[in-house]
């Protein structure tokens, strides 16, 4: 039988329910465990962590909305992740981690062999936390790293921290999705991110919704999309002080780029099927783009 999912939201979990969850984890019958916004005792949280540590099937762990509510729980989760080898996506959105909590969790995140998606939105992080996260975005030629990163609503991060992240994104050989929505970034940080996107060979989705941007940022991003070949497919600029015209221009350019990539991919496929097709321009360069986040990422992304 294929592993299934356990998804519970906003409930107070009993000891019997926790025992059932842990038994399923130990039996490797759970691929997705989501306890979003649930209430459980310290003892029961420890049981869940030990069950997750033993599971070989668990691919997505959602503890959003305050489940990891204190340093003791951070330590227990860190210990579980040091043993677990299967978790690919970890969601901690809305947990009061702070930089101190992330420092305790970071060693386990750094050595985890399967983790590719991490949500640390609204986790009260600052610049020190961002420095740790940059270590999860190794440069070209280094070990594998995150493919999807969410840092929404962490207003304690300064422009210095975001600048450090922009440098890491520019050199990351893995990252495909970056969500920075509802952070007070402003035009200066947006300019740094534009340079990072232009340098990245993998970033496909950038969410800048509600980040205090103006037409100045939009013009910079427009110039970047128009003049530099990037992997970017989706740029979210809603809830900013940006004119609809500029947003539409950027959207149109990204759509044009995607259509060109699809056409080039079809031409490559046709040549592979018929090796006798000749190219008129031998110097033309064909670029193949991946269409998603890979088989390792799960479709379920609730917060």
201 and 85, same structural domain? no
Residues 82 and 181 occupy one common structural domain: no
Pair 209, 257 in one domain: yes
pLDDT of residue 264: 52
Q: Residue 249 has what pLDDT?
A: 95
Per-residue confidence (pLDDT) for residue 285, from 0 to 100: 33
Q: What is the per-residue pLDDT for 256?
A: 84
Whether residue 182 is predicted with pLDDT greater than 50 in this model: the reply is yes
Per the domain annotation, does 256 fall within a domain? yes
In a domain, residue 104? The reply is yes
Residues 118 and 154 in one domain: no
Does 289 map to a domain?
no
pLDDT at 278: 36
pLDDT of residue 173: 82
pLDDT surpasses 90 at 118 = yes
Structurally, the chain folds into a number of domains equal to 2
**Residue 17 placed within a domain:** yes
Position 10 in a domain: yes
Of residues 137 and 256, more confidence is placed in 137
Give me the CATH number covering residue 232: 3.80.10.10
pLDDT-based confidence at 257, cuts 50/70/90?
A: low
pLDDT at residue 272 is higher than 80: no
> What is the mean predicted confidence (pLDDT) over 34-51?
96
- Whether residue 231 sits in one domain with residue 112: no
Would the pLDDT of 300 be above 60? no
Across the chain, mean pLDDT equals 87
pLDDT number for residue 157: 98
The range of the structural domain enclosing residue 199 comes to 146-262
Residue 140 lies in a domain: no
Share of residues in the chain with pLDDT > 90 (%): 79
Do 86 and 150 lie in a common domain? no
Q: Note whether 104 and 197 are same-domain residues.
A: no
Strand partners, 35: 8
- In this structure, are 67 and 158 located in the same domain? no
Q: Looking at the structure, do residues 188 and 253 belong to the same domain, yes or no?
A: yes
Residue 129's pLDDT is 98
Do 113 and 190 lie in one domain? The reply is no
Tokens found for residue 30: 């759970």
As a whole-number percent, the residues of the chain with pLDDT over 70 amount to 83
Is 216 inside any structural domain? yes
Look at residue 131 and tell me if it is in a domain: no
Is 89 in the same domain as 57? Answer: yes
Q: What value does the mean pLDDT take over residues 282-290?
A: 33
pLDDT tens readout for residues 55-98: 999 999 999 999 999 999 999 999 999 999 999 999 999 999 99
In terms of domains, do 115 and 157 share one?
Answer: no
Last residue of a domain, one of 92, 124, 156: 124
């Amino acid at each position: 039988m294929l592993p299934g999912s356990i998804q519970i939201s906003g409930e107070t979990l009993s000891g019997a329910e926790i025992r059932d969850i842990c038994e399923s984890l130990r039996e490797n019958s759970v691929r997705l465990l989501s306890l979003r916004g649930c209430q459980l005792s310290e003892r029961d949280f420890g049981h869940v962590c030990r069950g997750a540590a033993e599971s070989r099937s668990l691919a997505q762990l959602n503890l959003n909305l305050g489940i990891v509510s204190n340093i003791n729980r951070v330590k227990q989760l860190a210990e579980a992740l040091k043993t677990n080898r299967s978790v690919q996506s970890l969601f901690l959105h809305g947990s009061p981690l702070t930089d101190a909590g992330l420092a305790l969790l970071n060693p386990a995140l750094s050595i985890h062999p399967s983790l590719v998606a991490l949500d640390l939105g609204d986790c009260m992080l600052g610049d020190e936390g961002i420095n740790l996260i940059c270590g999860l975005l190794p440069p070209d030629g280094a070990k594998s790293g995150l493919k999807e990163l969410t840092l929404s609503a962490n207003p304690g991060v300064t422009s210095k921290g975001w600048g450090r992240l922009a440098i890491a994104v520019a050199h990351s050989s893995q990252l495909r999705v970056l969500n920075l929505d509802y952070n007070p970034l402003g035009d200066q940080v947006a300019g740094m991110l534009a340079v990072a996107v232009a340098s990245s060979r993998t970033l496909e989705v950038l969410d800048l919704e509600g980040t205090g941007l103006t037409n100045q940022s939009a013009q910079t991003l427009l110039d970047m999309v128009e003049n530099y070949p990037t992997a970017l497919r989706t740029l979210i600029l809603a809830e900013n002080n940006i004119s609809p015209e500029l947003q539409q221009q950027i959207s149109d350019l990204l759509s044009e780029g995607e259509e060109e990539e699809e056409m080039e991919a079809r031409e490559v496929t046709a040549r592979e099927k018929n090796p006798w097709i000749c190219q008129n321009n031998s110097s033309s360069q064909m670029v193949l783009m991946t269409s998603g986040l890979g088989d390792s990422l799960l479709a379920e992304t609730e917060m």
